[in-house]
Amino acid sequence: MLERPVILSLTTTLFLSLVMFDPPCTFGDKIDYKKIFKNDCLKCHGRDGKVSKRGKKLGTPDFTDAGWQASVTDDQLIASVTNGKKKMPSQKDNLSPERLRLW
Q: For 26, how many CA atoms within 13 A lie in the half-sphere containing its CB? A: 5
CATH code for 29-102?
A: 1.10.760.10
Determine the pLDDT at residue 97. Answer: 79
Q: Please tell me the pTM assigned to this model.
A: 0.63
Which stretches in the chain have pLDDT values below 50?
Answer: 16, 18-19, 21, 23-24, 26-28
Determine the pLDDT at residue 54. Answer: 93
Determine the pLDDT at residue 4. Answer: 58
Give CA–CA dist 22/88, Å, rounded.
Answer: 30
Determine the pLDDT at residue 56. Answer: 92
Determine the pLDDT at residue 18. Answer: 45
Determine the pLDDT at residue 17. Answer: 52
Determine the pLDDT at residue 5. Answer: 59
Q: Is 22 helix (H, G, I), strand (E, B) or coil?
A: coil
